[in-house]
Structure 1
Amino acid sequence: MRAQKWHGHAIVRAVAVVGCAALALSVTGTSAQAGPRDLTRQTLAANDGWGSYGTGTTGGAAADAEHVYTVTTWAEFKAALAAGGSAPKIIKVKGTIDAVSEGCEAFAAPGYDFSAYLEKYAPEKWGLEEDLSGEPADSPEGLRRVSAANQDKAIKANVPANTTIIGIGRNAGFKGASLQIKGVDNVIIRNLSFESPVDCFPQWDPTDGSKGNWNSEYDTAVVYGSTHVWLDHNTFTDGSHPDSAAPTYFGMLYQQHDGELDVVRGSNYVTASWNVFTEHDKTILIGNSDSESTAAGDRGKLKVTFHHNLFSNLVERAPRVRFGQVDSYNNHFVADDSYVYSFGIGKESQLVAEHNAFTLPDGISPAKVLKKWNEAPVTAAGNRVNGKAVDLIAVHNAEIPGEILQSGAGWTPTLRTEVDPAKAVPGIVDHCAGAGRLR
């Protein structure tokens, strides 16, 4: 077990000695026991973030033998999700499961032709004042809608209550899948690599912005109206389809990705720990709308904890927050030249961001870490940028005087395990976060 405090360069060496398993045991508060641990039945430790609140998060730990499944294909995975209703279940994932193994062509409606789509809706012909919602079923847009519906049905997987989904070994995960944790309680997702789903049929919206825009669907994981969810030791990435390789049409990026993780529509009590979020643009939303109709279901909810995650080479939204009390501590943020911001301060949000580490390239100011979208207070203390203590609110307000942030989120997180000093975070998180490092 690691010591209570870490000093200087001993961090990396100590992590190598004790291993990430012992480190995780210490940080999560799970007690070491004689004999091998059954990782598939582990539950979220007491006081480990908002996911531990109240009844806690146990997933499928109570599953009997009939409700433990090992899957290697997308069809097997969806069948296991559907079996047994909401009885506790454990789904073990072996290898990489591709939800789009037959390619985008398998979803295309008869007669759909992307070249015809581009020809008809080119701005010089269609203009930028009318959207495509009125297009008939046999039009290029109508055929796109049918094709998109085919993909939607195929790649979304609904996760029932009382479920643990866990990767076995170092190379388990999904490509092109969208996990829907929707209207349920008590779900655990661990040790899985997720390559973001690619929207095969993005929609052109001429009215989006001054030049029009391509809009895509399919978050990698969506927590929608659900409670008690634990996401741990996963890796979320664009993988073989980075935005940097995407073409442009009509002068705009042909965007085929949505978010990596969204927590929305009255969801509550979520802990995201020891994950890697990397190579993505619009990464995480907590709350997805400022509208009053949505706000009514979000106020007093959207309580989420992020700790010991690696946020690497992202553009923005790590996360963008509306409404909820979000606690982000002991995370490592590593930026590249595409960086826009990490924390988005949205409507009625109460973000606490403490004891995090930021590694920013030359020319990017710490003032960009926080982004003000609406008037809302924020707590940001004990953070370090490139190894130096920085008051993120003060530097933001000094350099971006048109977006003054108010200090003091109005609440103090209590559901935390051991909090590491920010200077130790890179050495700990970089060695232990992500899929394949759960032991």
Structure 2
Amino acid sequence: MRRARARSPKLYAAMAGLGLVAAAGTALVMPEASAATPGATGYATQNGGTTGGAGGTTVKATTGTQIHQALCGRASSSTPITIQVEGTINHANTSKVSGASCNTADGVIELKQISNVTLVGVGSGAVFDQLGIHVRESSNIIIQNVTVRNVKKSGSPTSNGGDAIGMESDVHNVWVDHVSLLASGGESEGYDGLFDLKANTRYVTLSYSTLRNSGRGGLINSSDSDLSSSYVTFHHNLYENIDSRAPLLRGGTAHMYNNHYVSLNESGINSRAGAKAKVDNNYFEDSKDVLGTFYTDLAGYWQVSGNVFDNVTWSAPGDENNPAGPNPVSNTSVSIPYAYTLDQASCVPAIVAKTAGAGTGLAVSDGSCTATTPTATATPTATATPTATATATAPTGTNLSIGAGSDGSSKADGTSYGNVRDGDTSTYWSPSGSTGSVSIKWGSATTVSKAVIKETSAAAGRIGSWQVLNGDTGAVLASGSGAGTISFASTSLKKLTFSITSANGTPQIAEFETYAQ
């Protein structure tokens, strides 16, 4: 048996900077080679899915101010956009920008009160140096292939309350993928969490990422009275040299699979206050108290299977200490609503080393312990995805929605998903808020090339921007605004989704008709 490696976060210096800041100006991107990114995974696929800026314009930014300018230059706060980031983003080049479609601030990348945004590092990835990424009151966000390092809450400079990536206040559907989150110490050195989710943050996935050299890896919910955040997936991540919170869970449900945990110095997955953690095929190494309820008498729960515990030590149980080991067994059952494939735990260190973090070419596991890299494709320009205003021209043929099934992201009281396919324009579906999605689904693959969206007469004109998605893959087939007939490339699928991304009031969709041509 190997001796546990004693490593302190204080011993780690900040990583070297990457690249130089390019000339000022934010411009539309012309086609160029980049990795073709697979779709979101885990809980980010639920609640209508997470597509980020798919279907919108693509711009480049080399400063934080340019990132804010790109957000503020959109037609609305929900207009889809992909922002490709190059170089080093820091306090010196990140300023507040004002506009009707944004709410930004100095000294932090502010993704606040917005939706439908992808922030992706180009090539080996962008570096956010001592500058955090703050997501607040936002939805449908993708953050990918970036490094966020040495963000502090005390000392100088400070940013984002000391969190590398922080989400709070009614955030949903966020996919954070292939990122590197780094600190150089704990709270006494001015750092806080690497990945913190608070105040009703839901349907989030952290995948293929590295979290290193911090006193606090991250948390879900900020106190025992904040139990609203839930449904978070962590897979194929590396947690290394973390004192605690890998993560800390207060309430809610989390799924951890195929992660590699190395040198968790004090505690690891800390499930408290009724939280439920499903812990599958992870590799825990040279660590202490990697799973349990710690520092409280408010019990949490876990379901375990297929994990490897390599040189893990466990403390004795106490009034505020309930480690799951030395022989962890399940004390709850957690149902997972999405499909996933597990690598064997024995190969997790090797596969995570090849795939996790920024600058890995967005490599992923094929589910059998082999890393694969997406093939190079052309980066889409602003016109690559069909964009149109729905027309009044009615298609011909059979309405394929009649007799099909339906579901959606949410529904207001008194409304039903089935009302959009009953042929009766006096009944309707409404989301529980101003945005949401509704889908038509079939038992077998069905070819569709047109959809007709009909509003009730009482709510005519409320639908703003929308996307039509292939519900099987999440691909955007068309995007635009307003109700009417929507045409797109003929596609064979089992599920077609109409996602409302902005609206003037609460929409009322009387019918969601579908046609082969």
Q: Shared topology, TM-score over 0.5?
A: yes
Q: What is the deviation of 1:38?
A: 5.3
- Counterpart residue number, 1:86: 78
Q: Counterpart of 2:172 in structure 1: which amino acid?
A: T
Q: Select the residue among 136, 153, 164 that pairs with 1:182.
A: 136
1:74 aligns with 2:74: no
- Higher helix content, 1 or 2: 1
Q: What is the deviation of 1:70?
A: 0.5
Question: For the residues of structure 1 that align with 2:106 and 2:89, how far apart are their CA atoms?
Answer: 13
Q: Does the 8 Å contact 1:263/1:286 carry over to 2? A: yes
- Higher strand content, 1 or 2: 2
Q: What is the deviation of 1:368?
A: 4.6
Q: What is the deviation of 1:88?
A: 0.2
- Counterpart residue number, 1:290: 224
- Counterpart residue number, 2:237: 309
1:55 aligns with 2:45: no
Q: Select the residue among 321, 328, 345 that pairs with 2:271.
A: 345
Alignment of 1:302-381 (within 5 A): 302-335=230-263, 339-360=265-286, 365=288, 367-372=289-294, 373=296, 374-381=298-305
Alignment of 1:26-425 (within 5 A): 39=35, 42=37, 44-45=39-40, 48-63=41-56, 67-84=57-74, 85-100=77-92, 153-159=105-111, 160-201=114-155, 217-224=161-168, 225-238=170-183, 242-243=184-185, 254-291=188-225, 294-295=226-227, 298=228, 301-335=229-263, 339-360=265-286, 365=288, 367-372=289-294, 373=296, 374-386=298-310, 399-400=316-317, 402=319, 403-404=321-322, 407-425=330-348
Q: What is the deviation of 1:165?
A: 0.4
Q: Does the 8 Å contact 1:283/1:316 carry over to 2? A: yes
Q: Does the 8 Å contact 1:155/1:176 carry over to 2? A: no
Question: For the residues of structure 1 that align with 2:290 and 2:201, how far apart are their CA atoms?
Answer: 28
Q: Counterpart of 1:259 in structure 2: which amino acid?
A: G
Structure 1 unmatched ranges of 5 or more: 1-34, 107-151, 203-215, 245-252
Question: For the residues of structure 1 that align with 2:134 and 2:46, how far apart are their CA atoms?
Answer: 22
Question: For the residues of structure 2 that align with 1:201 and 1:305, how far apart are their CA atoms?
Answer: 32
Q: What is the deviation of 1:101?
A: 6.5
- Counterpart residue number, 1:26: none
Q: What is the deviation of 1:264?
A: 1.2
Pair 368,227 (structure 1): closer, same or farther in 2 beyond 3 Å: closer
Pair 101,60 (structure 1): closer, same or farther in 2 beyond 3 Å: closer
Partner deviation per Cα, 1:69-88 (whole Å, 9 max, x = no partner): 10111221221222212200
Dislocated runs of 4+, deviation >6 Å: none
Question: For the residues of structure 2 that align with 1:87 and 1:168, how far apart are their CA atoms?
Answer: 22
Q: What is the deviation of 1:376?
A: 2.1
Q: Counterpart of 1:62 in structure 2: which amino acid?
A: G
Helix, strand or coil at the partner of 2:67? helix
- Counterpart residue number, 2:493: none
Determine which structure has more spread, i.e. the larger CA radius of gyration: 2
Q: Does the 8 Å contact 1:43/1:57 carry over to 2? A: no
Pair 416,330 (structure 1): closer, same or farther in 2 beyond 3 Å: farther
Q: Does the 8 Å contact 2:256/2:278 carry over to 1? A: yes
Q: Counterpart of 1:310 in structure 2: which amino acid?
A: L
Q: What is the deviation of 1:415?
A: 2.0
Q: Does the 8 Å contact 1:285/1:320 carry over to 2? A: yes
- Counterpart residue number, 1:432: 355
Q: Does the 8 Å contact 1:221/1:260 carry over to 2? A: yes
Q: Does the 8 Å contact 2:85/2:120 carry over to 1? A: yes
TM-score with structure 1 setting the length: 0.64
Q: What is the deviation of 1:161?
A: 0.8
Helix, strand or coil at the partner of 1:303? strand
Q: Does the 8 Å contact 1:304/1:325 carry over to 2? A: yes
Aligned residues: 308
Structure 2 unmatched ranges of 5 or more: 1-30, 96-103, 363-372, 374-517
Q: What is the deviation of 1:43?
A: 5.8
Q: What is the deviation of 1:36?
A: 9.2
Helix, strand or coil at the partner of 1:164? strand
Q: What is the deviation of 1:417?
A: 2.0
Pair 37,186 (structure 1): closer, same or farther in 2 beyond 3 Å: farther
Q: Counterpart of 2:356 in structure 1: which amino acid?
A: A
Helix, strand or coil at the partner of 1:419? coil
Q: Does the 8 Å contact 2:142/2:174 carry over to 1? A: yes
Question: For the residues of structure 1 that align with 2:82 and 2:332, how far apart are their CA atoms?
Answer: 38
Q: What is the deviation of 1:399?
A: 3.4
Question: For the residues of structure 2 that align with 1:422 and 1:283, how far apart are their CA atoms?
Answer: 21
Partner deviation per Cα, 1:218-264 (whole Å, 9 max, x = no partner): 311112121110000000002xxx228xxxxxxxx743111111111
Helix, strand or coil at the partner of 2:251? coil
Pair 196,100 (structure 1): closer, same or farther in 2 beyond 3 Å: farther
Helix, strand or coil at the partner of 2:69? helix
Partner deviation per Cα, 1:326-383 (whole Å, 9 max, x = no partner): 00010001116xx1111111111011112100120xxx55x45434332122112211
Question: For the residues of structure 2 that align with 1:198 and 1:222, how far apart are their CA atoms?
Answer: 12
Partner deviation per Cα, 1:257-290 (whole Å, 9 max, x = no partner): 1111111111110111000000111121111111
